[in-house]
Amino acid sequence: MRNVHVSLALATCAIACSAFAGEKNLTPVTADQGIQVTAKRFARIAPDFKQTSPWMEVGDLQGPSACPPTALAFDCFEPDGAMPGFPTDGLYGLDCGLGTGRWYFGSSYCNMFTVNDMTVAPGFEGAMSERMETGWWWFAGGPGTSEQCLIAVFTADGFDDTCAGPPSTSGYSGVIFDFGVLPYGGYYWTDTEDLLCGSGLFFQMPMDGSGSYTSILANDFNGNTIFLATCGQTMLWGTKPGNPSQQGPIQWDDDNPSDGTHTAPDECYDYAFALCPDPLGAMMCFYAEGGSVDCLDLSIDNEFAGTPSTFTVTGGTPNAQVALYYTLIDPGDVLDCLAEEYRRCRDGGGSWLKCIGVAIANCTKRAVQYARGTFDSTGTFQDTLAVPCAAGDKTVWFFGVSQGPDGEVDCYSDALEVTFAPC
């Protein structure tokens, strides 16, 4: 068995190296609907691959029954917003026409050790993620065979996109998952859902928002050494233009040869294949608490009572739902109250839109929804409101709220304070 026993800060070149990515000699192809699997146990693993917690058996967990409400901090998976989050397409406006299908390099391609970059959505810098999804193809020993499947996932603050190496720096402890014996095929995918909640294990998002993530496919782990699987590969997807999280075209693959290390620059590749999505990258997403609550911009074109005023919201996710509200009470520092009331309502089974209304009613005592719709392909929504003469000389606060691809609130606008001129 080949083994991985070096740090994630892999050895740099001993001689001068080119700063250009290599060219894949394979063309990605699509795999149909994936097979969902759930880990049987998991443990914390340090950047030097030392096991730093006992194995936690899924059936023995005593933590909370559900994670706190979270949103997608980084998304190169595109889940449908459910629990578990099934792979889908078109959530960010761009529909590649693949449905639940994903890209890979054919069933016999072997790349068990991948590092790619990530930039999290605004507001998730330094967040802790207790939920992760990923997808992979499992070759094992070929058709008709099976093999023990383990996957180790790490994050880091640094990523090298110059192909000089090392691929990642300033790494954090990760989690290794044991899926038991899996037969040849796939693609397989997993959603950790609530497994990590209360366990003390999590994935650290990059402190400044930009860093890297690592996926290792293995068939054994002895607490000190990861033994690479016979053959397998992480499935490929991408961060589309409307996605608030992003990644670049460079990915490091341990495939030339597959030996547990990344050789610069020979195993550094440009994943801009002019496919959809483009570029491609290792299929993975992380959820976390946080997110920018003031990531929408709300404006008004007319502040005269007795005439129609058009409200414009920008900065939204294409095709996402949005709702506009007004209140006659200064919202002030009301966002903490809104978040707490919204979470309480959602935990009780309320819909996202109902819970926004409940939160606003409980926190401001007087709020009215006056518009609802979806963002267009540019992330813009407009609505015209006939402002009555009774609003003259009065101050009104307006704000917008949008729904993210995971079905939860992902953005508010700042409160827009308007004192209308009298009729």
Q: Is the pTM of this model over 0.85?
A: no
Mean pLDDT on 249-270: 94
SS3 category, 22: strand
Cα gap 214→211, rounded to integer Å? 11
Residue 413's pLDDT is: 81
Per-residue model confidence as pLDDT tens digits over 110-152: 999 999 999 999 889 888 999 999 999 999 999 999 999 999 9
Under a CB-based contact definition with an 8 Å cutoff, are residues 152 and 175 in contact? yes
Higher confidence at residue 62 or residue 36? 36
Please give the CATH architecture assigned to the domain spanning 297-419: Single Sheet (2.20)
Where are the chain's structural domains? Answer: 3-288, 297-419
Cα gap 380→371, rounded to integer Å? 14
Q: What are the residues facing 281 on neighbouring strands?
A: 237
What's the distance, Cα to Cα, between the start and end of the chain in Å?
A: 82
Q: Place 64 in a pLDDT band, splitting at 50, 70 and 90.
A: very low
Distances (CA, A) of 232 to 104, 147, 264: 10, 11, 22
Mean pLDDT on 328-348: 64
Residue 92's pLDDT is: 87
For 82, residues 6+ apart whose C-beta sits below 8 A from its C-beta are 407
Dig out the tokens for 117 from the structure.
């970059």
Q: Name the phi and psi angles at 344, rounded to 5.
A: -60, -40
